[in-house]
Amino acid sequence: MTKPLAVSSPRNKRGGGWLAQSWRLAPRRMLWALCAPLLAGVLFLFQAWWLADILDRAVIGHAALQQLWPAISIVAGILLVRALLVWSGERAANSGTEHIKHWLRATLMQRLLDKGPAWSRLHPSGELTTALIDHVEALEGYLQRYMSAAVAAVFLPLLLAVVAMGVDIVVGLLLLLTAPLIPIFMALVGWGAEAANQKYHQALQRLSGVFGDRVKGVFTLVLFGRAKEEVAAVQQASQDLGKTTMKVLRIAFLSSAVLELFAALGVAGVAVYIGLSYLGMLGDNFTGMTLQQGLFCLFLAPEVYQPLRQMAASYHDRAQAKSAITSLEAIFKTLPAVPNKKTAEHSHDEPSTEKWEGVSVRLPMTDSTGVTPILQVEGFSLMAPGTDTVLLKPVSFTVNKGESIALQGSSGSGKTTLLESVLGLRARHSGEVRLYTAGASQADSEHNFLPGVCLLSAHPFLSGETVEQVLRLAAPEATEAQMWQALANVDMDHVLRTQHAGLQTLLGTRGYGLSGGQLQRIALARLFLYEADLVLMDEPTAHLDARTRDVVLDAILAFCADKALIIATHDPAVAACLQQQWSLQDQTLSGVQS
């Protein structure tokens, strides 16, 4: 048995740790997005100094406009350069964010495919859709805004306050003392924001799962008179989502109020101090500040708090991103490992080591008697998903080329589960399964691809708008003549020619306008367009009358004369036409010729 190998995620990459290292997926772009605001902040020092000098010379020195033009040009040039820096940083952040989201979606999608259908069935389709779309999209605010704002909030306030201290020590101390209060109180509010966001993502995930499952089963719900109750369940899930959304918004508004309060107090404190010093109300020790120095300090004061404002404004994005990552980790168990920076720029996907609990693909071979085995099973047993309950006791068998087998048993005995589990599509199993098909290679099993295998379920899904599109899923290059021949094999050609629009007959996802038996036959027609060495079929004639059943069965047996064929059936007439009859009952498979 090929067992799945988990993709491990280091402890320091869980949740916030993973987010902190996500920039490595697009290092050059994200590093520039982080550095551009810092450079723009450094240039602001020169802009503020020159602007204060212009006003000082105009007000105190009564300089003419012609004398001020060089300084004004310098200020305008610095403004232009700062604008270009900010624009290029945002552009780099947008590009890097899209790259990271694309990589994460592709990696998680590959992880989903690698885990196989058995794992996917344990999760509502709406939950997986929300994870791949909404949860990944929730990282955008963190990557585009919060990361650059957080870096700027760490360095720029300190730099500006130190420079202000060089001009006036009181102003510098006032800025140094008030600025840290904002992140402290924002952190306190952030704890509540993160918890609220986690509840929001859980509510959204629940609503998506509930709604998606109800839409898929709407006809069954109506049939059993459960429509009103399920509508009420969806409404309740929607109301829960609304309540959690309002909680998140309340915390967001609270954080904004905290930010504005302390920023306003800090700027007002600097302004009051400078004004009182100019009025001489603070004593002789505080009257040496020139107009240029005072204006320069006043220009710096709002800029000290601006990075903190931006970080606080995007702090909600951080909480939302952490909640989204936590939800992704809860679904997929581990987070994708971030590639190193040397390969991240060119990495769109992560090599996966996970596999289905599937089969080992081998090259075709012939034994000493000239018999060609197609499927070999040794010590194969089935367990119910998530439990240790045995569905099938250990069994070994070989299915050779040209053999046909009827798999019988009462309803619920596990015939369908056995067929799907042999290919790794359903229950956990132990033992070894080997498949020998033409064109096979060991690389196929490493990519969870099983060449030369055809499995037709009892309830096939017709994914296509027309009959032609449905058939081309089995053979994209098939000609019209080949498709009509396949339909003739299942006695559907005359029906589509005379009563419908031929190959252009509209089906939709439910096959409206056609009976259940007709839809079953269209699905069966795909068999005759696909070259397979092993054919597994689940109740292929269940919806057919006796005459049509015989026509279809004869065509199947003729087509599979040189293939290995296993048909799960309740029909004794179908079983009698096959070479071997196996019976699955009471966790035991009898009639097997090992």
Chain segment 192-206, per-residue pLDDT in tens: 555 665 666 566 666
Sequence-ordered list of residues with C-beta below 8 angstroms from that of 397, at least 6 positions apart, any chain: 376, 377, 589, 592, 593, 594
DSSP H/E element including 590: strand 588-590
**How many Å apart are CA 548 and CA 441, to the nearest integer?**
39
> Strands of 580-585's sheet, edge to edge?
453-456, 534-538, 564-568, 404-408, 580-585, 588-590
What pLDDT was estimated at residue 529?
Answer: 93
Which among 179-193, 312-326, 391-405, 451-465 has the top mean pLDDT? Answer: 391-405
Calculate mean pLDDT across residues 139-164. Answer: 89
CA-wise closest residue to 589 among 568, 573, 563: 568
Which among 172-181, 407-416, 544-553 has the top mean pLDDT? Answer: 544-553
How far, in Å, are 75, 179, 507 from residue 44 at the CA level?
10, 18, 65
Split at pLDDT 50, 70, 90, the class of 212 is low
**How many Å apart are CA 420 and CA 120, to the nearest integer?**
14
One-letter amino acid identity for 271?
A: A
What pLDDT was estimated at residue 42?
Answer: 93
**How many Å apart are CA 233 and CA 432, to the nearest integer?**
44
pLDDT above 80 for 537:
yes
DSSP H/E element including 171: helix 169-178
pLDDT above 50 for 535:
yes
CB 178 within 8 A of CB 266: yes
Sequence-ordered list of residues with C-beta below 8 angstroms from that of 294, at least 6 positions apart, any chain: 274, 277, 278
Which among 49-63, 192-206, 271-285, 337-351 has the top mean pLDDT? Answer: 49-63
CB 50 within 8 A of CB 74: yes
**How many Å apart are CA 200 and CA 425, to the nearest integer?**
33
CB 464 within 8 A of CB 428: no
What pLDDT was estimated at residue 580?
Answer: 93
Helix-strand-coil split of the chain, %, nearest 5:
60, 10, 25
Tell me phi and psi for residue 64, to 5 degrees.
Answer: -75, 160
Parallel/antiparallel/unpaired status of strands 404-408 and 453-456: unpaired
pLDDT of 550-588, one tens digit each? 999 999 999 999 999 999 999 999 999 999 999 998 888
- Between 178 and 575, the higher pLDDT residue: 575
Sequence-ordered list of residues with C-beta below 8 angstroms from that of 350, at least 6 positions apart, any chain: 7, 103, 107, 110, 336, 337, 339
**How many Å apart are CA 386 and CA 39, to the nearest integer?**
55
**How many Å apart are CA 386 and CA 15, to the nearest integer?**
26
One-letter amino acid identity for 360?
A: S
- Lowest-confidence range among 190-204, 442-456, 462-476? 190-204
Calculate mean pLDDT across residues 387-412. Answer: 87
What pLDDT was estimated at residue 442?
Answer: 47
Sequence-ordered list of residues with C-beta below 8 angstroms from that of 480, at least 6 positions apart, any chain: 503
Split at pLDDT 50, 70, 90, the class of 485 is very high
Percent over 90 (pLDDT), the chain? 24
Sequence-ordered list of residues with C-beta below 8 angstroms from that of 413, at least 6 positions apart, any chain: 584, 585
* Number of neighbouring beta carbons within 10 Å of residue 30: 24
CB 345 within 8 A of CB 28: yes
CB 178 within 8 A of CB 170: no
Q: Kindly report whether the global pTM for this prediction surpasses the value 0.85.
A: no
The whole-angstrom distance between residue 241's C-alpha and the CA centroid of its chain comes to 21
The whole-angstrom distance between residue 221's C-alpha and the CA centroid of its chain comes to 29
Split at pLDDT 50, 70, 90, the class of 425 is confident
DSSP letter assigned to residue 466 = B
Length of the chain: 594
**How many Å apart are CA 149 and CA 268, to the nearest integer?**
23
- Helices H / strands E in the chain, number of each: 22, 10
How far, in Å, are 423, 486, 555 from residue 568 at the CA level?
15, 22, 17
Calculate mean pLDDT across residues 325-344. Answer: 76
Q: At what angle do helices 546-559 and 480-489 cross, to 10 degrees?
A: 130
Average pLDDT of the residues of the chain: 79
- Determine if residue 535 is left, alpha or beta; phi over 0 gives left, psi from -120 to 50 gives alpha, anything else beta: beta
CB 528 within 8 A of CB 497: no
**How many Å apart are CA 194 and CA 209, to the nearest integer?**
23
DSSP H/E element including 68: helix 65-120
What pLDDT was estimated at residue 134?
Answer: 86
pLDDT above 80 for 233:
no
- Lowest-confidence range among 35-44, 63-72, 444-453? 444-453
Taking the alpha carbons at both ends of the chain, their separation in whole angstroms is 19
What pLDDT was estimated at residue 446?
Answer: 47
Q: Residue 113 corresponds to which tokens in the numbers above?
A: 């495919």
The whole-angstrom distance between residue 75's C-alpha and the CA centroid of its chain comes to 47
What pLDDT was estimated at residue 214?
Answer: 67
Calculate mean pLDDT across residues 537-546. Answer: 89
**How many Å apart are CA 540 and CA 322, to the nearest integer?**
49
Rg (CA), the chain: 35
**How many Å apart are CA 576 and CA 570, to the nearest integer?**
11
CB 501 within 8 A of CB 486: no
What pLDDT was estimated at residue 431?
Answer: 81
pLDDT above 60 for 418:
yes
What pLDDT was estimated at residue 16?
Answer: 64
**How many Å apart are CA 243 and CA 434, to the nearest integer?**
53
How far, in Å, are 117, 451, 536 from residue 423 at the CA level?
11, 11, 10
Tell me phi and psi for residue 204, to 5 degrees.
Answer: -65, -40
- Lowest-confidence range among 101-105, 435-439, 516-520? 435-439
Percent over 70 (pLDDT), the chain? 77
